[in-house]
Amino acid sequence: MAHHFEAHKVEEVLPFIDAAVSLRRFIDEEGNPVEETKVQLSSELLLKMYVTMVRARILDEWLLKMQRVGRVAIHAPNAGQEAIAGAVMALREEDWLFPSYRELSAYIARGMSEEEIIDRAMANADDPLRGSEFAVYGNEKYNIVPAPVPVGAQIPLAVGAAIAAKILGHKVVAMTIFGDGATSRGDFHSGMNFAGVFKAPVVLVIQNNGWAISLPSRRQTAAKTLAIRGVGYGVPGIRVDGNDIVAMYITALEAAERARAGEGPTLIEALTYRLGPHTTADDPDRYRSKEEVKLMERLDPIVRFGKYLKGRGVMTEREERDIWKEWGEKIESIVKKCYEKPSLPVSVIFENVYSEPTWNLKEQMEELEESLRIMKELGVKVE
Ligand SMILES: Cc1ncc(C[n+]2csc(CCOP(=O)(O)OP(=O)(O)O)c2C)c(N)n1
Ligand SMILES: [Mg+2]
């Protein structure tokens, strides 16, 4: 029972506090290098990071337009938050991702194509999730587990998967991504506690974009930062510039390697900003100022990284223009292709719950078929 009276030295915790309150960045606001990394990143990898963010930005603009013309039910705009791709690029193919709903660049970084993303957004016949909950993305092919709709519910799932992998002796890492708002949910706290106690091989990334719909992040906690909340769970917290893709990549790489080496979880707080509305059903002008948005536009992760690449001779202005043009054209033709695809059959609503339909589901299916038959007779178009 000696532990009852065991004292600890504050020095043991201080390094964790330092990382959790400072702001780590490798590229400054003007696109200049701040700190040289010990890890040498190849031009190929740097360009891949840039292209991934560009693809996500173009796709985001399309999904927004497609929602406005009624081809997509709802969309959560991503613009400004594309540097999350860096964190995901630090994972290996066999790792698992438990994302939220605002991470197109993360799904692309994992290998999902624009076509697969649009099929999902439209819930057409090729939708990998067969019409389940809108505005969430997932794909078994790429070890991406679709986000549950309750905010933050992916956190204990990721921690549980990481603990399971550890028990099974699989050398894989689980990464979960969630917002500042999610840190106020019980799921965050129970997830963090389990992760710490069981040294789960998990990387927890908070996309702190300053807002949970209309609630500013300063109302989520009285703590100075979100990363510092890790200290209380024995989980190192690191605060990084979430609009600096290099900082995101390096920090996540270190965290994933720690996890793989059996050293347990890491909490990464990424400071970023959502430039658009919360979803297509939101009007941010009602709760935040235009000045704030203007200020944050200056920190656009794509513009900033583009300057960095041009400043270091990794990309020319011409190459930059070509990347935007090439992907603009490619994605437009993918959108057109997806528009031509048939819808899912209405009967899909009975799938994915029971392996064999129950008696009452069978009754409901028959009723639905009967209604569809009558509507057809009356000439009512059902899609
Ligand atoms: C448990 C729960 N409460 C409320 C909601 C409604 N809701 C959806 S997103 C959201 C805000 C989440 O904010 P944050 O976690 O910061 O993520 P962000 O949208 O900023 O990326 C809320 C309140 C929900 N989906 N689940
Ligand atoms: Mg938020």
Per-residue pLDDT tens digits of the chain, which is 383 residues long: 567 788 889 998 898 999 999 999 999 999 999 976 667 899 999 999 999 999 999 999 999 999 999 999 999 999 999 999 999 999 999 999 999 999 999 999 999 999 999 999 999 999 989 988 878 999 999 999 998 889 999 999 999 999 999 999 999 999 999 999 999 999 999 999 999 999 999 999 999 999 999 999 989 999 999 999 999 999 999 999 999 999 999 999 999 999 999 999 999 999 999 999 999 999 999 999 999 999 999 999 999 999 999 999 999 999 999 999 999 999 999 999 999 999 998 888 888 788 898 999 999 999 999 999 999 999 987 76
Distance 140 CA to ligand 1 centre (A): 24
Pocket residue to mutate for ligand 1, from 213, 215, 279, 282, most atoms within 8 A of Cβ: 213
Collect residues with CB below 5 Å from ion ligand 2.
179-180, 209, 212
Residue 170 annotated in active site: no
Are 147 and 154 contacting, i.e. CB atoms less than 8 angstroms apart? Answer: yes
| CA-wise closest residue to 223 among 234, 213, 237 | 237
Atom of ligand 1 minimally distant from the CA of 279: 19
- Tell how far the Cα of 32 is from the centroid of ligand 1, in angstroms: 34
Helix axes 301-311, 43-68, angle to 10 degrees: 150
Nearest-angstrom CA–CA distance, 254 and 69: 43
Protein residue closest via CA to atom 12 of ligand 1:
212
Instruction: Give residue 170's identity as a one-letter amino acid code.
Output: H
Residue with the smallest CA separation from ligand 1 atom 8 is 151
Domain locations along the chain: 8-33+40-339, 347-377
- Looking at the CA of 150, name the nearest ligand: 1
What's the gap in Å between 81 CA and the centre of ligand 2? 11
Q: Is 251 in the pocket of ligand 1 (CB under 6 A)?
A: no
Q: Which of 83, 80, 84, 86 is nearest to 60 (CA)?
A: 80
Q: How many CA atoms lie within 13 A of 310 on its CB side?
A: 14
307 lines ligand 1 (CB under 6 A): no
**CA-proximal residue: ligand 1, atom 1 (nearest):** 150
The Cα–Cα gap between 232 and 230 comes to: 5
3-state secondary structure string, 336-349?
HHHHCCCECCHHHH
pTM of the model: 0.95
Distance separating alpha carbons of residues 26 and 37, to the nearest angstrom: 8
Cα–Cα distances (Å) from 253 to 41, 100, 175, 266, in that order, read 12, 20, 11, 11
Nearest C-alpha neighbor of 77 from the set 274, 268, 213: 274
The question of whether 278 is a catalytic residue gets the answer yes
CA angle centred on 306, ends 143 and 329, rounded to 5° = 65
Nearest-ligand number for the alpha carbon of 81 = 1
Q: Which atom of ligand 1 is nearest to the CA of 151?
A: 26
User: 179: Cβ below 6 Å to ligand 1?
Assistant: yes
Atom of ligand 1 nearest to the CA of 183: 15
Relative to the CA of 102, which ligand 1 atom is closest? 21
The yes-or-no answer on residue 57 being catalytic is: no
**What is the number of the ligand 1 atom nearest to the C-alpha of 208?**
16
Which candidate in 287, 298, 321, 373 is catalytic?
287
3-state SS class at 241: strand
The CATH class that applies to domain 8-33+40-339 reads: alpha beta
